A and B are shown apart, each in its own frame.
Chain A
Amino acid sequence: MSSTRDCDPTAPAGRRFTLPSPTLWPGVLALGFALAAAGLLSSKLLSLGGLALGVIGCIGWFFQVLPKEKHRAVEGPAEPAVIAVSRRRVSRIEVEGVHRARLPLEIYPISAGIKGGLAGAVAMAAAAMLYGAVAHRSVWYPINLLGAVVYAQTQVSTRQISAFHIELLLVATVLHITTSILVGLLYGAILPMLPRRPILVGGLFAPLAWTGLLYSVLDIIDPLLNQKISWPWFLASQVAFGLVAGLVVVRQARVPTWQYPLALRAGVETPGVMRETGRENSPS
């Protein structure tokens, strides 16, 4: 009962098509079920009637499909529909012999994102620790605050935040490095796609937007943390990250985008490309 038989591309147009003939029995069976259910809400008699109707529906349905499915014939057209396109012009991006290019044509390698992220991490840490040293006479202050985002027990005094805590240092370092690398990778992926001024977007606009978002919601999410944060300095360290990471990323060499599907690159047999084009057409 596979559809092999139906899928005959050489069948002539204008033939008669066999389609399943219309039947009421499935609807009758459904009505039977519905009445049986309605009977549970009112009287048993209705249920019995529904069940009887269901049995009748089943029998009717049975004789629709057995011993042979009932069909009816429908007249088809003489000619099949013609498929044509109104617009003949198709613009393509031609790249050195590759007829359809994958965009963007050039990307930064993954290493560029990691380098940018790490450089940005150093710049951001420097800015933040400068703030700690200037405002609270302790470089540990911003580190402890960052660590406290995920690891803090109680409300603590400013003096305690200024002290050195090894566990908070570890937590903050892991958080800082991971996030920086991820954001760096994001920069590496997005910057080549921006039409112009990538540094402006990555170095100023993104930090501004991120700071604005945090500024507006942190009071709700974590009011305690919010009290301890100096927003101008926060913005400054974000901008430091954005500028440095962006500058480092754009200074890396770009590599051309792979233009062939993964399966082809991996040397896997792809039925469409390999067999049917003939070797001369296939991109090598």
Chain B
Amino acid sequence: MGANVVTIPAGDSWQLPSRGRTGMISLIVAESAIFTIFVAAYVFYIGKSPDGPTPKQILHVPIFATICLLSSSLTMHAAADSLRRGKTAAFRLLWILTLLLGLIFIISTAREWHRLIYGQGFTIETNLFGTTYYSLVGLHASHVIAGLAGLTIVAILGVLGKVRSEHSERCDILALYWHFVDAVWIVVFSVVYVIGR
């Protein structure tokens, strides 16, 4: 070996960022770029539909669902925190609460769409507003569903008692994704229900 070994003075710590977190942040950057394009298209097309209905006529502001989704970020944070400290019971409770809040959001979106499609006859084909509305909100909803799938798997494993504090890093990474989905909703909400309405 001899000449082939380079020594670095002892005591040098060599700590790199975790690959899971780096990967998730990269994925979030990519997803943000997708959402940016959809939001840009939505904003560009606000008020450009030649015929109705307009957002003001048919959209109801989903305040309750929004509160649920945003507060799920808090419970998610608390859940990840308690797992890190080894309080698995509290983790289980808070995680399932997060899951339920997310479910409430997605169910209320589904009900809203049901009302629009079957009640008002307003579909993606109706006009330009329909096209942009369903694609943007649908893109976000599909992300919520993907997040819920992940949450459900962890919840099942948690109920079976398989999630322990050594898994907290993986749960943190999933939490990062969930926070991203919530943050995107703030943008989508303001664009669709505040600026565009």
Contact = CB atoms under 8 A, between A and B. Distances in A.
A22 interface: no
A21 interface: no
Interface in B1-33: 1, 3-9, 14-20
Interface in A61-81: 62, 67, 80
Nearest to B1: A80
B5 A83 contact: no
Contact of A2 (B3, B6, B9, B18): B18
Give chain A's interface residue range (CB within 8 Å of chain B): 10 to 19
A3 B5 CA distance: 19
B169 interface: yes
Nearest to A2: B16
Interface in B27-79: none
Give chain B's interface residue range (CB within 8 Å of chain A): 10 to 19
A108 to B, nearest CB: 40
Q: Is the interface of B mostly helix, strand, loop or mixed?
A: loop
B85 interface: no
Nearest to B153: A62
Contacts of A7: 14
Contacts of B17: 2
Nearest to A83: B4
A282 B7 CA distance: 19
B111 interface: no
A1 B20 contact: yes
Interface string A1-35: 11110010100010000000000000000000000
A9 B16 CA distance: 16
Contact of A1 (B6, B8, B169): B169
A4 B14 contact: yes
Contact of A3 (B3, B4, B6, B16): B16
Interface in A132-190: none
B4 A80 contact: yes
Contacts of A3: 16, 19
B4 A4 contact: no
B14 A276 contact: no
Shortest 8 CB-CB contacts between residues of A and residues of B: A1-B18, A2-B16, A2-B18, A83-B4, A1-B20, A2-B15, A3-B16, A1-B19
